[in-house]
Amino acid sequence: MKNIVILISGGGSNMAAIVRTSLRDDWARRFGAKVVAVVSNKASAPGLELARAHGLATAVVEHKAFAAAPDPRAAFDAELAKVVDGYEPALVVLAGFMRILTPGFVERYTGRMVNIHPSLLPAFAGLNTYQRALDAGCCFAGATVHQVITELDHGPILGQAVVPVLPGDTAQILAARVLTQEHLLYPRVIADLLQKL
Ligand code: GRF
């Protein structure tokens, strides 16, 4: 079985969309793949409850617990890798996972770790993507699924979804429009990837 481990920090709506699609489209039979665990860097992430409701294993590696380590990022990533590796992942899916990962962590999962970013990369890497798209006067916005490389929000693009920017849009309105498309895009791209893994 190709195990999928999903990393989250917050609401987990993309995670839930991936889990729902994997069950609806029977990824176990079609690709020999299944979501086995959801890991969060925050115990308070609402997505953890959602994952448990789906009967998935969950784990928490609190990044704050490593604040006093000589190299907090490296210490957190080492523990995170230990937990993730415990689920023997064929694919690691970052779904609203709001931590910058060290090169060591990224290299460990090269070619088998993907991320979703709420902009049409290479435009607007980083934060506040919706407001930046509005400020730039963009006519379109969207989301990108990409392979994860050491440079933040870069890496080979695996798929994109485009939405229009409409008169009267606020960052919040635009974010909701993009998120709806993310829920379709991310499972579709992962299904494509699973056929090749
Ligand atoms: C999404 O907008 C995603 O693009 C970004 O973080 C958000 C996560 O939302 N990386 P959710 O936790 O999946 O609901």
- Distances from the Cα of 113 to the Cαs of 7, 19, 129, 148, 162, in angstroms? 10, 17, 22, 6, 23
Q: What is the pLDDT of residue 154?
A: 97
The CB of 95 under 6 Å from ligand 1? The reply is: yes
The CB of 14 under 6 Å from ligand 1? The reply is: yes
Q: How far is the CA of 2 from the centre of ligand 1 (A)?
A: 24
Taking only the tens place, the pLDDT of each residue in 19-28 is 999 999 999 9
Q: What is the pLDDT of residue 123?
A: 98
Q: How confident is the model at residue 142 (pLDDT cuts 50, 70, 90)?
A: very high
Q: What is the pLDDT of residue 106?
A: 98
Task: Give the mean model confidence (pLDDT) for residues 12-38.
Answer: 98
DSSP state of 65: G
Distance, in Å, from the CA atom of 67 to the CA atom of 77, rounded to the nearest integer, reads 12
117 annotated active-site: yes
Taking only the tens place, the pLDDT of each residue in 47-92 is 999 999 999 999 999 999 999 999 999 999 999 999 999 999 999 9
Q: How far is the CA of 29 from the centre of ligand 1 (A)?
A: 28
The CB of 11 under 6 Å from ligand 1? The reply is: yes
Question: Which of 9, 116, 120, 152 to probe ligand 1 with, by most ligand atoms within 8 A of CB?
Answer: 116
Q: What is the mean pLDDT of the chain?
A: 97
Q: What is the pLDDT of residue 95?
A: 98
Number of residues written out for the chain: 197
Domains of the chain: 2-196 (3.40.50.170)
Taking only the tens place, the pLDDT of each residue in 145-179 is 999 999 999 999 999 999 999 999 999 999 999 99
Q: What is the pLDDT of residue 158?
A: 98
Distance, in Å, from the CA atom of 79 to the CA atom of 114, rounded to the nearest integer, reads 20
